[in-house]
Amino acid sequence: MNATGPSGRTAVAVIGSGNIGTDLMIKVLRLSEGLRVVAMAGIDPDSDGLARARRLGIATTHAGVDGLVAMDEFAEVEIVFDATSAGAHQRHEEVLRPRGRVLVDLTPAALGPYVVPPVNGDAHLDAPNVNMVTCGGQATIPVVAAVSAVTPVHYAEIVASIASRSAGPGTRANIDEFTETTASALERVGGAARGKAIIVLNPAEPPLIMRDTVYCLVSDCDREAVRASVEAMVDHVSGYVPGYRLKQRVQFTPVPDDDPLRRLLPAGATGGPALKVSVFLEVAGAAHYLPSYAGNLDIMTSAALRTAERIAAHRSGKVAVR
């Protein structure tokens, strides 16, 4: 297997020819200096993603993962992006892992470790399968981690609101997995003691840009240090997702003694001062495939691209992108 061609770039394939897979393919073509797309696999022969790939000179198959491994181009592939569904990913891993390919999983299957580039982007560079959590997770976990870096987060709750038009069949089929995977990653990557996630498919017309709200329950803390940590993290994320920004300054609200939230405080802290930290985010897409309202696609595919570039650089001994 030859991972790099004459250009020195690592060969990758995309499974999934829907919104996410197509946007990711275009991002690799337009933005990546370390990766090159050599194949796209789907299951719908009439999908727009496969048609676009063919027009761009990329080898395609509508026979899914079985068609991919049968392609001549598969011999070159080092990294495979899976932009299908949580259920489908389990079989894809069974087929691809024994063949030595690294999987970057954009479904909520979470068979491999969670990766959120600005939080733990270098922690799993040797893993055979890494999971990109969810679009809501990629948008909000960095904020929870930024708060957690200053003060313990007893509870984190996030609400991700995305335009209904930007949610393809895979997203709609995985709503339960979305909430479960995001909540778990808020704890395991973001550092919250407990996490909860909610997704809203907004049917508004014209479609609204992705909005994310993050609530963190903390004991009394250095508010300016928390604010500075969150703002620095937002700047970091916007370095690879240009449409990612704060909608307003970080807010701090005292939690009254009779507020049910206090039940989530750890023993010994229930009678002391407590704060609810509120962070309001907006994610506009780069419009590589869908219009700019689809920030959920943009942050997910941008995070996957950043992760794959780091893995490729690590495997080749080059300096990984930051």
Give one DSSP letter per residue of 164-213, joined into a string. GGG--HHHHHTHHHHHHHHHHHHHHTT--SSEEEEEEEE--SSPPPEEEE
Residue 276 lies in domain? 135-291
pLDDT class for 174, splitting at 50, 70, 90? confident
Domain count for the chain:
2
Name the active-site residue from 133, 135, 234, 284.
Answer: 135
Both 195 and 125 in a single domain? no
Give the span between the Cα atoms of 80 and 158, in whole angstroms. 29
Q: Is residue 2 part of a domain?
A: no
pTM of the full predicted structure? 0.94
Is pLDDT above 70 for 1? no
Q: Let me know if 216 is a catalytic residue.
A: no
pLDDT class for 4, splitting at 50, 70, 90? low
For residue 319, what pLDDT is reported? Answer: 58
Q: Is residue 233 part of a domain?
A: yes
Give the span between the Cα atoms of 79 and 310, in whole angstroms. 11
| Centroid of chain to Cα 256 | 35
Least confident of 9-18, 145-154, 167-176, 212-221: 167-176
Both 146 and 72 in a single domain? no
pLDDT class for 321, splitting at 50, 70, 90? low
- Binding site: residue ranges? 17-20, 166-174, 296
- Binding site for NAD(+): residue ranges? 17-20, 166-174, 296
